[in-house]
Structures are given as structure tokens and as C-alpha cells.
Amino acid sequence: MRTKAKTSGAVAAGQENTADAARPLLSVSDLVVECTTANGPVRLVDGFNLTMKAGERVALVGESGSGKTVTARSIMRLDPGFRLSGSIELQGQDLLALGEKDMAEVRGHKVGMVFQDPMSALNPLMTIGAQVMEPLRAAGLSKKVAHERARSVLEELGVANATQRMQAYPHEFSGGMRQRVVLAMALAGEPALLIADEPTTALDVRVQEQVLTLLDKVSCDRGLAVLLITHDLGTVAGFAHRVAVMYSGRKIHEGGVDEVYAEPAHPYTAGLLEAVPRIDVSVRRLPTIVGSPPHPSARPDGCAFHPRCSHSVARCQAEKPELTVLPSGGLVACHRYGEAGEEAAS
């Protein structure tokens, strides 16, 4: 009987482990983010969906104002003034159901975040060491243990003489070194997911490459999932496995990087890619997407992109397109998808 019980227990444990392995690390379903204004509520993010596996790198791209950063910050629940609905599950735990105390434990320990501007993310009155140690001390680690872990992660990220540099202040570091410190703060709690919001903004090309190489190494070494928020499609090509394109608060295109870049299924994605300089093509002037994204409080009916789209038809102006599955397994929200091929064949 004991042997049988042990066998049953082993089978149950194996089934549980298999289920855990199949479960996404992050699952965002029908996320809606609203804020209150003098003219009433405004929907900033409208029904966003995303899943990520452990160790996967996903890029979230789009013009400024498309909702990328709001979406990322909502996963961390960093804006208490916003109303969130839908579901955000991390390792099977619904983050929207957590109280603030429990959510504070998730931040930094299950999810870390690298913000756009390292200078504004760092306290100019605190030493580097104190700031990297702060989340560790808040988690209950002793000062000695927190100091050692902070020193270790700074060394891992290429900060020479880490013990001495921990006594320095942010203004004594270069932009690239400050970004390493911000990354160290995000990684010190050993999270499973890292959200990197424009991590190379305001850095020169050489330092950008160093930061991205560092992110690549850390992701591989730690098996870390990375959600990269960026408008730089060149960065995406060399770093991410998948790319999700946002426009006016909605995800309108998603797929593997190679598939999306080779055959962009949405006119907006195609426009973004055409505006990227290429070393193998010489042009006098790069193409641009006419107009600008609509304000969240003044979105047009139908497809929000239709006022700027050269392929727009009457249906685009009246009916909001839903995401449909592409042959490659990706997703696109466009009424005209596939019509170009049909027209060419006829």
C-alpha cells in the first residue's frame, strides 16, 4: 500500500510539474486601463492581450502615445489613479486581485522594471549601494546579505570596483553606468520577468549596444523573460523573439520577429518598417506615415488607424477590426488583410 501511495504521489507530482511547465509565465487578458479626466473617463488601453513563456523576449512597439508604457506600468500596478480591469496573471497569480502589500512583494521579486530615464529613476541624494540594496532590505534581508548581493549584481553587470562604487552618487556615473545601476536594482530581487521601458533612450549608439548586449547576456544566463518597450525596430530585430505592435491603445499585430519583418500583415507595421533606415537601400528621403495617432479621448470610429491608412475603405471607418489568426500563427487586426494578394491574382 505504501508503494502504491508513493507511485500515485509521484504521478500526481509529475502531472503538476507538467501543468506548471505548460502554464505561461505571464498572461494578460482583456486588459482595460482607464483614467478620469474633467471630461469623464478616458480609455488608455483597450482590451490588450499577451502571453509570455519563461525566458522569452517579447518587444512591444509603436509610436509615442500608443499605450506601450501604460500597459507595462499596469502590469506592475504602478499608477493607482488608473482603473484596471481584465486579468493579469503572473505564474498563475492574479495580480489585479492582490492587495497593495502583496503587490509590493511582487514588484522587484517576481517582476523587475527598468525605466526610461536612469537619472530620474535614481535618487540623487542616495548612494548607488543604498539604492540597489533598498528593495532587498525591504524584503527583510540583513544589511550584510543585501550589501553582498548588491555588490555581486553590480559586478555581474560590469561595474568595476563595485564595492567602492557603491559609495558613489548617481551624478558620478555616466549615462551608461547609471543604466547598469537601474538594471541592477531591477535584477537584485531575482525576478522571473523584466520589463525594460526604452532602456537605451538618450544613450549614444555605442552605449546602446553595450546595454543591449548586457540585457542579452543577463536574459540568457538567468533564463529571464524580458518585455522590451521600444520604438526602435532595429533593436527589436536583434533582441526579441516575438513582437507585438500597438496603436491607439490596442494590439493590432503580433508574431515572430522574422515573420513580421519579412511580411508585415498590417499597414501600420509596414509603415513603421519602411521608415527604418537600411544600409542596403539608398533613398533620398525615408517614407513616413502621414498624420499622428489620435488622442485617447478622440479616437475615430472603426479602425483607429483608418484616417492615416492609404488602404482604408468604408468598412474600416465603421467597424473595429478584431484580431484574427495568421497562417504563421501570428495575429492581425485589419479588414484588408489578404485582399492585396487576391487583387494581384485576379
Which domains does the chain show, CATH number per domain? 25-35+43-110+191-277+285-291 (3.40.50.300), 124-190 (no CATH)
- pLDDT tens string 77-133: 999 999 999 999 999 999 999 999 899 889 988 999 998 777 778 999 999 999 999
The cell for 82 is 488608473
Say if CB 200 and CB 232 are below 8 A apart.
Answer: yes
Confidence of residue 344 (pLDDT cuts 50, 70, 90): very low
User: What whole-number distance in Å separates Cα of residue 41 and Cα of residue 29?
Assistant: 21
User: What whole-number distance in Å separates Cα of residue 79 and Cα of residue 75?
Assistant: 10
Read out DSSP for 278-297? -TT---SS-----S-PPPGG
- pLDDT tens string 201-251: 767 777 788 888 888 888 998 999 999 999 888 889 889 999 999 999 999
User: What whole-number distance in Å separates Cα of residue 322 and Cα of residue 252?
Assistant: 8
CA 106 to chain CA mean position, Å: 17
Which pLDDT score, from 0 to 100, does residue 117 have? 74
Which pLDDT score, from 0 to 100, does residue 245 have? 97
Residue 271 has pLDDT above 50, yes or no: yes
Which pLDDT score, from 0 to 100, does residue 44 have? 96
What is the percentage of the chain residues whose pLDDT exceeds 70? Answer: 91
The cell for 329 is 500563427
Confidence of residue 21 (pLDDT cuts 50, 70, 90): low
Span 20-40, average pLDDT: 88
Which pLDDT score, from 0 to 100, does residue 22 have? 66
Residue 340 has pLDDT above 60, yes or no: no
Which pLDDT score, from 0 to 100, does residue 8 have? 44
Angle subtended by helix axes 128-138 and 175-187, to nearest 10: 10
Of residues 207 and 147, more confidence is placed in: 147
Q: Which value, in Å, is the radius of gyration of the alpha carbons in the chain?
A: 22
- Using a 10 angstrom Cβ sphere, with 0-12 exposed, 13-18 middle and 19 or more buried, the burial of residue 30 is exposed
User: What whole-number distance in Å separates Cα of residue 291 and Cα of residue 322?
Assistant: 23
Q: Is the dihedral of CA 311, 315, 318, 324 positive or negative?
A: negative
Confidence of residue 330 (pLDDT cuts 50, 70, 90): very high
Strand partners, 90: 26, 93
- pLDDT tens string 250-260: 999 999 999 99
Which pLDDT score, from 0 to 100, does residue 20 have? 56
Mean pLDDT for the chain overall = 87
- pLDDT tens string 34-81: 999 988 999 999 999 999 999 999 999 999 999 999 999 999 999 999
DSSP state of 109: T
Helices (H), 116-203: 118-121, 128-138, 143-156, 162-165, 175-187
Number of H helices, E strands in the chain: 14, 12
Say if CB 296 and CB 245 are below 8 A apart.
Answer: no
pTM above the 0.75 mark? yes
Cα 91–30–70 angle (5° rounding)?
85
With CA atoms as reference, report the closest residue to 54 among 91, 17, 105: 91
